[in-house]
Amino acid sequence: DQQVKQNSPSLSVQEGRISILNCDYTNSMFDYFLWYKKYPAEGPTFLISISSIKDKNEDGRFTVFLNKSAKHLSLHIVPSQPGDSAVYFCAARFGNQFYFGTGTSLTVIP
């Protein structure tokens, strides 16, 4: 049973516009959330994270929002750039384990 879900398998956005990637989870015990970015033929790389005690974390063009009541996480990329085209995974931590979503493939169109 998938505890972390990314319901949009793909997303296309024009360069310069905002990309919003969404993630839903079911386990209220998750205490830490992360976003990873994956290019083809490479392993995922860490992008940004947020603790469950916060509702927003910002790092340059990337902002992660956490809505605990809705069990919803989102990643905003502003402005989007062609180099952002990749698969994005959200992940949530419980204990020593991380639970990953199925990924959203983002294409930024020049």
Contact string (CB under 8 A) for other proteins, positions 80-109, x = contact = ---------x-x-x--xxxxxxxx------
Q: Yes or no: say if 49 and 34 are a contact pair by the CB < 8 Å rule.
A: yes
Residue 44 CB, nearest distance to other proteins (Å)? Answer: 5
Residue 43 binds to other proteins (criterion: CB under 8 A): yes
Work out which of 34, 64, 86, 92 binds other proteins, going by CB under 8 A: 34
Tokens 């384990």 — which residue?
A: 97
CB neighbours of 64 closer than 8 A, spacing ≥ 6? 33, 35, 48, 49, 50, 56, 57, 58, 73, 74, 75, 76
Binding footprint of other proteins on the chain (CB under 8 A): 2, 4, 6, 9, 32, 34, 36, 41-46, 49, 89, 91, 93, 96-103
